[in-house]
Amino acid sequence: MNLSIWTLAFLWFFVFLAGFIDSAAGGGGLISLPAYLFVGLPPHTAIGCNKFSASCGTTFSAARFFKNGAVDWQVAAVSAGCSFIASYFGMRLALMINQDTLKTVLVIILPIIAVLLLFKRNFGADNQAHTIPKKEAFLLAAFAGLVIGFYDGLIGPGTGTIAIIVFSAWLKYDLKTASGNAKLLNLASNYASLIAVVVGGKIIYSIAVPAAFFGILGNYIGAGFAIKKGTAFIKPLMIGVIILLFGKLFYDVFGTVNLFGNFRF
C-alpha cells in the first residue's frame, strides 16, 4: 500500500501526539487508531499497525519511567503478568458477549471519574503506597492487572488512563509513579494483542515501522514531562483523555452512525 509523503506526515504527527499523551495520561489509541483509519488502512490492518507502534512507544516510555525510579517494579510486574494473561482471554471473549452493555456502563461512570479528578485537588499528589502492607499490595496489583487486562482485550479504550486511576486510588501511588506502573501493565496487555496481530499478518511494516519511530519519540518526550512535572502535568491530561474517551463511547452507544464499530483502541 503506497501513501503520499503528506499522508504519511499526517499519520506521523498524530502518532507522535498520541505517544506524547499516552506516556503521561494513557488513552493515546483514541488519537492514533483514527489516524491510521483516516489515511485509508483497512480496519484490521489499522488495528495491527496501531498495536505495533503503540507497543514500541510504550516500551520506551516504560523504560524511561523505570530509569528515573518512577516505577514500583515488584507491584507493577505482578500487575503486568496478570494483565498479559487476562488481555489474551479478553480478546478471545470479545466476540462472544454484548460490548454495548459494558460501554453504556462506562458512559455513566466516566463523567463521575472526571468530576472527582477535577475537584479532588490532592488526588495523586502524594505517594502513600508504603501505608499498604506488601502482601495486600500484591493482591490488589494482581486483581487490577486481571481486571484492566481483561478490559483491554475486551473493549480497550483508555486502558492506560484507567490503570493510572486504579494505581493511584487503590494502591495510593502519586500520579507520576502510578503512571509508571500503568506503563508496565499496559505494555503487557499491548504485547498480548501484538502477538495476535503479528501471527494474523495484520501489520504493514513499511507503514508501521516509521510510524513507530514517531510514537517512540512522543512517548519519550511525554514521559520526560510527566517525570519532571508530576501531578501538575499528568492530571489535566487525564481529564482531557477521559472527556475524549467519554465522547467516543457515548457516540458508540447512542450515535446514529458508529464510525468505529467494535474497534479496540
Lowest-pLDDT range of 71-85, 86-100, 180-194, 203-217 = 86-100
263: pLDDT strictly greater than 50? no
Q: Could you say which DSSP state residue 69 is in?
A: T
Nine-digit cell at 117? 479528578
For residues 48-68, average pLDDT: 90
- Boundaries of domain holding 144: 5-254
264 belongs to a structural domain: no
Look at residue 256 in the predicted model and tell me its pLDDT: 45
262 belongs to a structural domain: no
What are the pLDDT digits (tens) for 115-159? 555 555 555 567 787 888 989 999 999 999 998 888 877 766 678
Closest by CA position to 24, among listed 151, 200, 131, 161: 161
Chain centroid to CA 89: 18
In the chain, alpha helices (H) = 5-25, 29-38, 43-67, 73-93, 99-119, 134-154, 159-169, 175-199, 205-229, 231-254
Most confident of 34-48, 49-63, 79-93, 140-154: 49-63
206 belongs to a structural domain: yes
191 belongs to a structural domain: yes
117 belongs to a structural domain: yes
What are the pLDDT digits (tens) for 188-230? 988 887 887 788 888 999 999 999 999 999 999 999 988 888 7
19 belongs to a structural domain: yes
pTM of the model: 0.76
Region class of 264: left (phi > 0), else alpha (psi between -120 and 50), else beta:
beta
17 belongs to a structural domain: yes
Q: How many domains does the chain have?
A: 1
For residues 170-187, average pLDDT: 88
Closest by CA position to 23, among listed 214, 250, 154: 214
Look at residue 238 in the predicted model and tell me its pLDDT: 77
Helix (H, G, I), strand (E, B) or coil at 105: helix
259 belongs to a structural domain: no
